[in-house]
Structure 1
Amino acid sequence: MTKPLISVVITVFNEEENIKPLLASTYSALKDLDYEVILVEDGATDETVAEVKKYANNRTKLIIFNKNYGQTTALSAGIDMASAEYIATMDGDLQNDPTDIPMMLEKAISENWDVVAGRRANRQDGFVLRKFPSKIANWVIRNTTKVYLNDYGCSLRVYRADIAQNMGLYGELHRFIPVLAKQEGATMTEVDVKHHPRIHGTSKYGLSRTFKVMADLILMLFFQKYFQRPIHIFGTLGMLSFFVGIVINIYLLVEKILGGDIWGRPILLLGFIFLLAGIQLITTGIVAEIIVRTYFESQNKTTYKIKSVFQGE
């Protein structure tokens, strides 16, 4: 059995009203391609599964999780199951438009790109809660990682399968997929894609994600710059901390010799406590992340558990 040309991975969570138009538009957009559609149901509590089973065709698979794991894990499961030469990813809320996929696939093949990322040219979201925070996040990620894409939040992307299936998606790193792909040596470009307002259901995103994104950015920068040489960052911080400590102690020693009173200094003590606590917390987080990756990869474990898989007829 030959592999399809493209696998379209769609993550869905409580999108029962969107399933019928989503599948209809996806099948219509891909009718001239050799494709498969993989939907990942991320622990929905509504009738999403029943709706998929009702409208899925024989090129559609539905991965059903036993609970909600999050978008990154859902993407990882769909990508792992994909069998095509190219993999497209998109959300199941009807805001991405599947008619952009053939154009993106053609660009990837004809111009030999490993990743073609979507850029929402006319984004249909609220400015204060969605667009403005996204612009700030995109600017920060772009300028810290040096991976120059304009829209890290757009889920609509086309990848070469060997790139997508070797990125190592964990936690909530879906926003940083282009950075992970770049670490695999991927070549990438960005194209304008259509974007629609949400009609059914409610958004699963909000301002509460900001701190998670910033925390993940710290982790991404570590993996991007210091994963193979962690001593460069921890050694540098350690030597800097040691040097500052030596300078302060020499200063206090000189002051003591000159007859000054060095007992007390609560603000100085507090500053050292905060500095050491911050370094230790960041270090602990990174070490924990490495341990998690080692646990899963050394034993060929996955970060998710599939309840069942449905094949459309």
Structure 2
Amino acid sequence: MPTPEISVVITVFNEERNIQPLLEATYNALQHLDYELVLVDDGSVDRTVSEVKRLANDRTSLLIFNRNYGQTTALAAGIDQATGRYLATMDGDLQNDPSDIPIMLEKAKSENWDVVAGRRANRQDGFVLRKVPSKIANWVIRNTTKVFLSDYGCTLRVYKAQIAQNMGLYGELHRFIPVLAKQQGAKMTEIDVKHHPRIHGSSNYGMGRTFKVMADLILMLFFQKYFQRPIHVFGTAGLLAFFLGVLVNIYLLILKIIGEDIWGRPILLVGFILLLGGIQLITTGIIAEIIVRTYFESQDKKTYRVKEIFKGE
């Protein structure tokens, strides 16, 4: 089969009433492109699958999960299935508009961007429960990861295939896809895209995801700075704690020598905790280093990515 210019990956979960307008809008938007459409059903329990099978054209494939795994896993499966030179991702709830995809693809091609991210210029969501938490989360992510995009919550993005297929999506890291792409040295930009209010179905997001985002952010910061050298974070913290513990215990020893009673003092407990904690952190760093080396060497992975090899004639 010839390689399509773009693969569009759409994740769906209990979207039976959205499937027909979604497919109609997507086919209409992509009709002038050489495309394939990859839908991933993330364990729907309604008629989503049967609706896709009823309406799919010959450029559409459908991956059906046996249960709900979450959006990140669904995106990863769709990206693995895709064969296009470029990939686009979007949600299946009709809030993203597929008519933006040709514009984003043209920008990626004409200006040689690795990632073109959507920015919901006129977001059609609730102000208190959706927009405000999103603005706060975007600000925190931008200023901690130093990847300066305006809208991390917009799933509508276009990627070069080699960037999308090497991001390593696990857990719930779909919110941090731009950070994962940046780790590969991707050049990215963003453009305003359309955003529609949800008509059918209900959102799967709530305020409870805020804590998950913060937990994932800690993981992303670790990946950004210390994934290949975990001893730098664990070892540094461990050595600092260990030497503080040594100083505390030297101080207590001096007090003991001059005849003071040190038993029962809280600082005695602090000294032992710092010593033991320091040793544990250093040990954790060494174990993490061994795990990282096993990760790369057992799978013949490289710790670098070559953008291009040029040979003069």
Q: TM-score, with normalisation over the residues of structure 1?
A: 0.86
SS of residue paired to 2:83: coil
Distance 1:124 1:271 in 2: 55
> Alpha-carbon deviations, 1:160-198, whole Å to 9, x = none?
001101111111110111111111111100111111111
Residue-by-residue CA offset, 1:7-63 (whole Å, 9 max, x unaligned) = 100000111111111111111111111111110000111111011111111111110
Match of 1:167 in 2: 167
- Cα 1:268–1:138 change in 2 (3 A) is farther
What's the offset of the Cα at 1:272? 7.7
| Partner residue, 2:66 | 66
Match of 2:55 in 1: 55
1:126-147, CA deviations, whole angstroms, 9 ceiling, x for partnerless residues? 1222111111211111111111
Cα distance, 1:215 vs structure 2: 1.6
Larger Rg: 2
Separation (CA, whole Å) in 2 of partners of 1:249 and 1:223: 35
1:278-312: CA deviations, max 9, x gaps? Answer: 9979x98xx89x979x78x9689xxxxxxxxxxxx
1:135 is aligned to: 135
Alignment RMSD: 3.0
Once residues 245 and 107 of structure 1 are traced to their aligned partners in structure 2, the CA distance between those partners, rounded to angstroms, is 57
Distance 2:175 2:242 in 1: 36
Shift of 1:251: 2.7
Q: Map 1:208-287 to 2 at 5 A.
A: 208-266=208-266, 269=269
1:117 aligns with 2:117: yes
SS at match of 1:18: helix
- 1:291, 1:40 → 2: CA distance? 32
Alignment of 1:168-183 (within 5 A): 168-183=168-183
Query: Any idea what SS the aligned residue of 2:159 has?
Result: strand
In the TM superposition, residue 218 of structure 1 has moved relative to its aligned partner by 1.5
Query: Residue 200 of structure 2 aligns with which residue?
Result: 200
Q: Which amino acid aligns with 1:94?
A: L
Q: CA deviation at 1:86?
A: 0.5
2:20 maps to what in 1?
A: 20
In structure 1, stretches of 5+ residues that fail to align are 301-313
**Corresponding residue number in structure 2 for 1:4:** 4
Larger RCO (alpha carbons 8 Å, 6+ apart): 1
- Note the C-alpha offset of 1:262: 2.5
Distance between the aligned counterparts of 1:158 and 1:144, measured in 2?
24
Q: Structure 2 unaligned segments of length 5 or more: list them.
A: 301-313
User: How much has 1:275 moved relative to structure 2?
Assistant: 11
Q: Aligned AA for 1:83? A: T
SS in structure 1 of the partner of residue 245 of structure 2: helix
Q: Please, which moves more after superposition, 73-82 or 262-271?
A: 262-271
**CA deviations over 1:235-286 (Å, ceiling 9, x no partner):** 10111111221222223223334444432245874898699889979x98xx
Instruction: Give the AA of the match of 1:254.
Output: I
Give the direction of change, closer, same or farther, for the CA distance of 1:127–1:238 in structure 2 (3 Å limit). same
Which moves more between the two structures, 27-36 or 126-135?
126-135
1:10 & 1:279 partners in 2: Cα distance?
48
CA distance in 1, matches of 2:237, 2:19: 51
Output the CA distance in 2 between the equivalents of 1:247 and 1:226: 28
- Between the aligned residues of both structures, percent identity stands at 79
Calculate the TM-score normalised by the size of structure 2. Answer: 0.86
Question: How many residue pairs get matched?
Answer: 297
CA distance in 2, matches of 1:275, 1:155: 46
Aligned to 2:309: none
Determine the structure 1 residue equivalent to 2:46.
46
Answer whether contact 2:36 2:60 (CA < 8 A) is retained.
yes
CA separation in 2, counterparts of 1:255 and 1:243? 18
Which residue of the partner structure matches residue 80 of structure 1? 80
Contact 2:242 2:277 in 1 (8 A): no
